[in-house]
Amino acid sequence: MGKKTKKTEFGKFVAKLRVTYDQTQKEMANVLSVSAAFLCRVENGRANPILEWVDILAESYSLSLEEEEELRRIILDERNKSSYIKNLTVGDQDLVFLLVEKISDMPSDKKEKIKKLISE
């Protein structure tokens, strides 16, 4: 039997949303335009949530202002647990997390272009 992973605060928040809206993880991942595997990693603390998800989830699930602010706080708190990212701006953090999310599915030629671009 596999090891059970403890959900993060973000994971608990979105799991509650899924139950309320009778959705699967895959369905919510589609709303966020990510894979279910990536959303699972985020929920279990193996990847970081993206700040723009607050707006997407707020609109898609009719979150109250209080819920939206709670989700924003949760995402910022979880992202700031990563010591290497603490000193980056929120925009730069989003860029890092977007790259992490997309890199495994990215063709080698695109990876080489990114390496070249950031090495300049």
Tally of CB atoms within 10 A around 52: 14
3-state secondary structure at position 5: coil
Whether residue 66 has pLDDT greater than 90:
yes
* Fold of domain 9-119: 434 Repressor (Amino-terminal Domain) (1.10.260)
Q: Exposed, middle or buried, 103 (CB in 10 Å: 0-12/13-18/19+)?
A: exposed
> Which pLDDT belongs to residue 62?
95
Find all residues with CB under 8 Å of 72, minimum gap 6, and list them.
51, 54
pLDDT category of residue 4 using cuts at 50, 70 and 90? low
What is the rounded distance in angstroms from the CA atom of residue 98 to the CA atom of residue 114?
13
DSSP label of 108: H
pLDDT digits (tens, 9 = 90+) for 13-60: 999 999 999 999 999 999 999 999 999 998 988 888 888 899 999 999
